[in-house]
Amino acid sequence: MTKDELLSRALTGEASRSELAEAIRPDKRQLFLDVCASIDRALTKTCRDSGDTCLADGCAMDNGEACLNACLKEGPNYYKAIAHVWLELVGEHPI
């Protein structure tokens, strides 16, 4: 995949976290992953606090952990959020 193809996929929310992590400079990779983890935890907290959790008894992720379902509920917006972080770190500003 070319850089332009990856950039296009990132902008439309179609690039996965692992694809983006592999394409970032090694010295910025951990920062990218750390920020993504913060986004995951924030989405988990928002989902838990909404009361619309995937378990009838409430959210199982109550000690600062991240829930995959909370991230997936956001759909392409989740991937666009992590792409925004990636774009900032790689210095691409296509818009």
pLDDT of residue 2: 84
In a domain, 77, yes or no: yes
pLDDT of residue 93: 52
At which residue do the structure tokens 């997936």 appear? 72
In a domain, 11, yes or no: yes
Q: How far apart are CA 54 and CA 77, in angstroms?
A: 19
In a domain, 74, yes or no: yes
Domain that holds residue 86: 3-90
pLDDT of residue 75: 86
What are the pLDDT tens digits along the chain (95 aa)?
A: 888 898 888 888 889 899 999 999 999 999 999 999 999 999 999 988 888 888 888 788 777 789 899 898 888 889 999 999 999 998 865 43
In a domain, 28, yes or no: yes
pTM, rounded to two decimals: 0.84
- DSSP assignment of 61-88: --SS---HHHHHHTTHHHHHHHHHHHHH
In a domain, 95, yes or no: no
Residues, the chain: 95
Q: How many domains in the chain?
A: 1
Q: Which residues are CB-contacts of 69 (< 8 A; sequence separation ≥ 6)?
A: 47, 54
In a domain, 27, yes or no: yes
